[in-house]
C-alpha cells in the first residue's frame, strides 16, 4: 500500500507540473491572422462566443477530471474487480477488432 501512496503523490506532482507549464508558456501564435470583424457589434459578439466556448471547455475539463478521480477511487476500493473488468473489456475489443 505504501507504493500506492508514492505513485499517487508522484502523479499529483506531475499534474501540477503540467498545469504550471501550461500557465508559464506563452500562447502559440496562430499561423494565419484572424480576419477582423466588420463592425464593433460583430467583434463583441465574437468575443462573447469565445468566452462562452472557454467556459464550456473549462466545464468539460472539470467534469473529465472529476470522472477520473472517481474512477481512481473505485479502482483503489476494488482492485481485483477492476483488473477482471479491464481483462474482459480487452477480450471484447480484441474479438470485435480481431482479424477476419
Task: Please report which confidence band the pLDDT of residue 12 belongs to, taking 50, 70 and 90 as the band edges.
Answer: confident
pLDDT given for residue 36 in this prediction: 57
pLDDT given for residue 72 in this prediction: 93
pLDDT given for residue 16 in this prediction: 81
Query: 0.75 cut: is pTM over it?
Result: no
* Separation of alpha carbons 45 and 13, rounded Å: 39
Sorted by where each begins, the domain ranges of the chain are 48-100
- CB-based burial of residue 75 (10 Å sphere; 0-12 exposed, 13-18 middle, 19+ buried)? middle
- Phi and psi at 99, nearest 5°, equal -70, 140
pLDDT (tens digit per residue) in 46-99: 888 999 999 999 999 999 999 999 999 999 999 999 999 999 999 999 999 987
pLDDT (tens digit per residue) in 16-42: 888 777 666 666 555 565 555 568 888
Three-state secondary structure call for residue 18: helix
Amino acid at each position: 500500500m505504501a507504493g500506492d501512496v508514492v505513485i499517487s503523490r508522484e502523479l499529483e506532482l506531475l499534474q501540477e507540473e503540467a498545469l504550471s507549464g501550461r500557465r508559464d508558456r506563452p500562447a502559440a501564435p496562430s499561423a494565419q491572422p484572424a480576419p477582423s470583424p466588420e463592425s464593433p457589434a460583430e467583434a463583441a459578439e465574437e468575443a462573447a462566443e469565445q468566452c462562452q466556448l472557454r467556459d464550456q471547455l473549462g466545464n468539460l475539463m472539470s467534469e473529465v477530471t472529476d470522472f477520473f478521480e472517481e474512477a481512481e477511487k473505485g479502482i483503489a476500493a476494488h482492485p481485483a474487480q477492476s483488473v477482471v473488468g479491464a481483462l474482459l473489456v480487452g477480450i471484447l475489443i480484441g474479438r470485435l477488432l480481431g482479424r477476419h
